[in-house]
Amino acid sequence: MFHVKNWPIILTALVICSFVLYRFIKTIKCQVLSLAFFQPSTVPAMKTNLILFYFSCLYSAYKHCTPNSPATCLLFQGFCGYCQAFSKEKISQLSLLFRPAILFFKPESVEVLLSSTTIIDKSKEYGLLSSWFGTGLLTSPGEKWRRNRKLLTPAFHFSILENFIPVFNDQANILVSKLQESVHEPWIDIVPLMTSCTLDVICQTAMGVCINAQSGENRDYVKAVHDIGNTFMYRGFRPWLYPEVIFYRTTIGKNFKANLQCIQGLTRKVMKQKKAEMASSDKNTEEMEVIANDNCVLGKKRKAFLELLLELHLQDPSFTEEDGHDTTSMALSWSLYCLGLYPDIQKTARDELDDIFQNDPKRGVVREDLMKMKYLECVIKETLRLYPTVPMFSRECNESFTVLGHTIHPGTMCFILAYALHRDPEVFPEPEKFDPSRFFPENSKGRHPYAYIPFSAGSRNCIGQKFAMLEMKTILAYILRRFHITSLDQRDKVVVYPNIILRNVNPLRLHFQLR
């Protein structure tokens, strides 16, 4: 008989086994009804024992994956290799834990999916992010997303975004002073500095407050963002950690909860103050009606981004919008890394800036300057081609649709691999070559509109892409006018992996030298 002291372990094992069995039956039932799992598909797949192949890959990823050692590299590289193997077919299928999935990595197939007005829900796996992002634009389902997107779009009009340029200038100046302190160092990891800078920018523009992240305050936030991404990927390979009742009782779950509280604490503090002001205003109801009628004018000015977020939060407390700075910080980090690798390209970008600013390294950036930074914009675009900040994302197939002659059934997860799409040699010859001239107007003419999607594409593209481009051009303009940049690691030494966004496994080592 079992010893009494073993009963807690036995009961725990029974609970876990029962949950796994429940998930299996639920998944199979769903997919039998949808015909997505058992119905033969004409989408190309590997001619081998798929079950053994996928479980061997998943087992390898599981065996090596820890929060501090991202073995998601293995699965990510496997996906990219899979795309190369089926390059001629332009689409392929695989199965992940009895869940059918389709890989989209060619412009023709990506267009069908992203241009759809009905296949717009994020895949169910995004539910693991709901405790962080709530039901913001990243994770909200179709109809809710349509409503929120419609309300927020006016806040990103260019006439409003240009009012943020002084904030970009102020934070770029602080960043430059930090970089100046590092010139005697052999190298620095640029990512933490960029994360603090873009965090200060988003808080000052979207929330109306300066949190002084670059000055060392709220330093725990930067670490928490990185750790929570690693935990998300770690949890994703362990289905038994999906239920919150189990996950939050583990050490990893407790750390995740602490990081989550750190991340959300600052935002909630500011929103609570602003929300109280708006809730007490007699005009609040009238203002919401004005917004609903597509006229987001308060007096003579459009409403600030924060006010719109708060009004949505008043209507739906589960709504949050906390993404926005981390993708920009990595895009800036990768841009500086690429500039540091290619001195000739760095010089061309700097010469353009010297011409615009008349060799004045300290003058602030204005709107007219940003419009003239044509080559620098091409550098950013080429960086995002090779290192898209969101290297892969997915959609949930809720209804049958046809792509390249193949029928995709409901219940299928549709993966879009931007990382592989941007390396299509038919669209970008010598795809591993860093060449900003690819984005000169004469070279971009006739290119498939879905061949390059650093901000996604279609109706659910990134709402803040113009904001991000203005911010990145401003910050890079400050850095290039003050420093020569050298990257210490060649691209073959840089190992990337998806930590929600595309990161480097090791520090991104750069050296800055005053001009």
The DSSP-derived string for 443-475 is HHTT--TTS--BTB-GGGS-TTHHHHHHHHHHH
Please give the structure tokens belonging to residue 475.
Answer: 């910050």
pLDDT in tens, 55-94: 565 565 555 555 444 567 777 888 888 888 899 999 998 7
Q: What angle do CA 384, 169, 299 make, to 5 degrees?
A: 100
Q: Which strands, in side-by-side order, build the sheet including 99-104?
A: 91-96, 99-104, 413-417, 392-396
Residue 261 has a CB neighbour count (10 Å cut-off) of 11
Strands (E), 168-280: 188-189
- Angstrom distance (rounded) from CA 333 to CA 510: 10
Least-confidence region, from 100-109, 126-135, 351-360, 377-386: 126-135
Q: What angle do CA 79, 432, 81 make, to 5 degrees?
A: 15
**For 184-202, what is the mean pLDDT?**
93
Please give the backbone phi and psi of residue 305, each rounded to the nearest 5 degrees, phi first. Answer: -55, -45
* Selection from 324, 276, 327 nearest residue 499 by Cα: 327
Residue 145 has pLDDT above 80, yes or no: no
pLDDT in tens, 446-458: 999 999 999 998 8
Predicted confidence at residue 188, as pLDDT, reads: 97
DSSP-assigned letter for residue 134: B
- Select the more confidently predicted residue: 294 or 172: 172
pTM for this prediction: 0.82
Q: Give the count of alpha carbons within 13 A of 512, CB side only.
A: 21
pLDDT in tens, 307-329: 666 565 555 544 454 556 789 99
* Selection from 145, 115, 139 nearest residue 127 by Cα: 139
Task: Enumerate the known binding-site residues for heme.
Answer: 462
298: confidence class by pLDDT, cuts 50, 70, 90: very low
- From residue 135, alpha-carbon distances to 143, 203, 232, 390, 461 in Å are 12, 20, 17, 19, 16
Residue type, 435: D
- The H-or-E segment that residue 414 falls in is strand 413-417
- Angstrom distance (rounded) from CA 81 to CA 77: 6
468 close to 205: Cβ distance less than 8 angstroms:
no
- Angstrom distance (rounded) from CA 316 to CA 275: 12
Predicted confidence at residue 448, as pLDDT, reads: 97
Least-confidence region, from 95-99, 120-124, 167-171, 358-362: 95-99
Q: Give the count of alpha carbons within 13 A of 403, CB side only.
A: 31
φ/ψ region of 467 (left if φ > 0, alpha if ψ in -120 to 50, else beta) reads alpha
**For 223-245, what is the mean pLDDT?**
79
**For 230-259, what is the mean pLDDT?**
84
Predicted confidence at residue 160, as pLDDT, reads: 79
Predicted confidence at residue 350, as pLDDT, reads: 98
Residue 173 has pLDDT above 90, yes or no: yes
- What's the chain's average pLDDT? 80
**For 389-394, what is the mean pLDDT?**
91
Per-residue DSSP letters for 55-76? HHHHHHHHHH-BTTB-THHHHH
Task: Enumerate the known binding-site residues.
Answer: 462
